[in-house]
Amino acid sequence: MRSQKLGYHLWNVILFLIVQQVEGQQYLDQWQKIDVQHYDFSISLSDTSDVIYSSADIKVVFKEPVKSFSLDLADKDEHGKGMVVKRVSVNGIESRFRHVNDSLYIYPGNAKAITSATINIEYSGIPADGLIISENKFGERTFFSDNWPDHAHSWLPCIDHPNDKATVEFKVSAPDYYQVIASGDMVEEITLDNQNKLTHWESEEPLSTKVMAIGVARFAIDTVENNLHVPISTWVYPIDANKGFTDYMNAAEPLSFFITHIAPYPFSKLANVQSTTVFGGMENAGNIFYQESLVTGNQRQEGTIVHEIAHQWFGNSVSERTWYHVWLSEGFSTYLTDLYYEYKYGRDVFKSRMIRERNLVIRYSKRNNSTVIDTTVTVDMTLLNPNTYEKGGWFLHMLRKELGDKLFWQCIVTFYEKYKYSNALTADFQNIVDSLSGKNMNLFFEQWLSKPGHPQLDIRWYQKRKNVCVKIEQLQKSFIFDFPLDLEFVSKDGSMNTVTVHVNKVLETYSFPVESTIENIVPDPDVWLLYEGKVTRKKF
């Protein structure tokens, strides 16, 4: 996703949204036991109250025979919000359950342990989160899910972790003047007798709960013609129809770029949806939700649209196996957006984006001595920061320099192909890079993803007749990095010559023979290195 304020200051201002839930034992226990195959949610929404009435049929297999198990589902909080379970049955037999601490413990009550089950759960309540029932900016009532990162269980019984993917269908009953969009394809729309309408959507692709979605509102809908064999549509509030249709009309171009460079589009449709999401854009699989206030009619959202479309491959189809590896979503989408800008607008625009993103990483490192893969992180908005976005993107940029364009894209494509509709860790990506490059990339992955900071260089140089002496010192305290550094020698006559040095010590001096008088040395002239530093012409 993209934060609402494009400056990425979300993590500073939105701490109130923190859910104190560390990756941990709870999910480990669940993974070892359960694998959800399919969710079938029937949900009734109304205008008379914010209570949702729901019946969930969930197909699971157990990795070993069990006599009890648990699903995630928020119970009632002190404000009266949350879900109350009325009845649970397992394989058609009413079962005992206990609903505490956002967990629904289910005891099938059969003496024999079971290896698979269809669980039916009837429940109701006002969602405290996850499904936002509110008024949009025009004062019209809307219902939009906002499941990321783990808010699905605020309104849906599920395994609320990206590692357990399942197919899903939503059968939404709502007043008939609303349109309903949800994950997958529309199966049917049926008028019910009480001025309600049932809208049924089903995703045949397995999804993580974080990117399952429904949106219920009065929408104006437009179809975006394309030759990609992907149904593309725009769903915006009727009052914003003209502006919104204009803003999202160019979605086919980034879609085409990613199809060409990565793989066929992984989902059955692409809908760009105006919504009340707390994010600038939220990449829900096949139906991206964009913050309602960003619709202007001036096509100012291009960066966000490209980023969310890139997520359909990385984030939604290939998903992080644990939240510690969220950069596999955000870093990939950030850099894929940069690559699209390079393709569309050229090298100079691309370079200025990379410089801006590098500055964000540098600024963030002054406040946070943390790493891209961060095992201390909590599952909340703090997952979204310049390490997981821009530093993750910069990692891929430096990897591209290391491998060359052709091998870089082969690694991206192979990683995608192997883990599509599934989950991966950083080590899975590294294995592919190691194997396709024939190199051991341990140090490269380790220093940029698992060490804090970046090279802080003090570069001094002077010329003595036909020789230029250069001294490079790494000033950062945390870790001594190992990297190639391009140095561009600018001669008095304006000619330029670039040499590459391999830096891997605290302090190193180099000597270069030159033919002319050197005026200046420019480090990293083509913007390939994540570093900060200064150059001084001074004898040492």
Tokens 């209570």 found at: 51
**Which of 121/285 has CB closer to Zn ion?**
285
**Which of 34/305 has CB closer to Zn ion?**
305
113-131 burial: b if 16+ Cβ within 10 Å, else e = ebeebebbbebebbbbbbb
Alpha-carbon Rg for the chain, nearest whole angstrom, is: 26
Segment lying near Zn ion (by CB under 5 A), choices 241-249, 256-264, 331-339, 500-508:
331-339
Segment lying near Zn ion (by CB under 5 A), choices 271-279, 324-332, 415-423, 445-453:
324-332
Q: How far is the CB of 3 from Zn ion (least distance, A)?
A: 9
Q: Which of 272, 333, 430, 447 binds Zn ion (CB under 5 A)?
A: 333
**Which of 154/333 has CB closer to Zn ion?**
333
Those residues whose C-beta lies under 8 Å from the C-beta of residue 211, and which sit 6 or more positions away, are: 147, 148, 183, 283, 284, 285, 315, 316
The count of residues interacting with Zn ion (CB under 5 A) is 3
272-303 burial: b if 16+ Cβ within 10 Å, else e = bbbbbbbbbbbbbbbbbbbbbebbeeeeebbb
Q: How far is the CB of 524 from Zn ion (least distance, A)?
A: 27
Q: How far is the CB of 284 from Zn ion (least distance, A)?
A: 11
**Which of 282/295 has CB closer to Zn ion?**
282
**Which of 99/307 has CB closer to Zn ion?**
307
**Which of 200/210 has CB closer to Zn ion?**
210
Q: How far is the CB of 2 from Zn ion (least distance, A)?
A: 6
Decide if 330 contacts 388 (C-beta within 8 A). Answer: yes
**Which of 9/63 has CB closer to Zn ion?**
9
Q: How far is the CB of 41 from Zn ion (least distance, A)?
A: 25
Q: Does the footprint of Zn ion cover residue 1 (CB under 5 A)? A: yes
Segment lying near Zn ion (by CB under 5 A), choices 123-131, 182-190, 204-212, 329-337:
329-337
Task: Indicate the angle between helix axes 392-403 and 426-437, nearest 10 degrees.
Answer: 10
SS3 of 53-120: the string is EEEEEEEEEEEEEECCEEEECCCCCCCCCEEEEEEEEECCEECEEEEECCEEEEECCCCCCEEEEEEE
Segment lying near Zn ion (by CB under 5 A), choices 121-129, 332-340, 372-380, 413-421:
332-340
What is the residue-wise DSSP string for 388-435? IIIIHHHHHHHHHHHH-HHHHHHHHHHHHHHHTTEEE-HHHHHHHHHH
Residue nearest to Zn ion as judged by C-beta position? 1
**Which of 5/466 has CB closer to Zn ion?**
5
Residue type, 197: K
Task: Indicate the angle between helix axes 392-403 and 442-449, nearest 10 degrees.
Answer: 160
Site for Zn ion in 227-256 (CB under 5 A): none
Q: Spell out the alpha helix ranges (H) of 218-269.
A: 241-247, 252-261
Q: How far is the CB of 470 from Zn ion (least distance, A)?
A: 40
Instruction: Please calculate the CA angle 16-451-408 and round it to the nearest 5 degrees.
Output: 100
46-84 burial: b if 16+ Cβ within 10 Å, else e = eeeebebebbbebbbebeeebebbbbbbbbeeeeeebbe
**Which of 233/284 has CB closer to Zn ion?**
284
Q: Using the 8-state DSSP alphabet, how is residue 231 labeled?
A: -
Q: How far is the CB of 429 from Zn ion (least distance, A)?
A: 17
Site for Zn ion in 264-323 (CB under 5 A): none
Q: How far is the CB of 386 from Zn ion (least distance, A)?
A: 13
Q: How far is the CB of 304 from Zn ion (least distance, A)?
A: 9
Q: How far is the CB of 168 from Zn ion (least distance, A)?
A: 21
**Which of 39/395 has CB closer to Zn ion?**
395
Structure tokens at 355: 């410089």
Structure tokens at 266: 């992984």
**Which of 71/396 has CB closer to Zn ion?**
396
Decide if 332 contacts 392 (C-beta within 8 A). Answer: yes
Give the x/- contact pattern for Zn ion in 132-171, rule: CB under 5 A. Answer: ----------------------------------------
Q: How far is the CB of 511 from Zn ion (least distance, A)?
A: 46
The footprint of Zn ion (CB under 5 A) covers 1, 330, 333
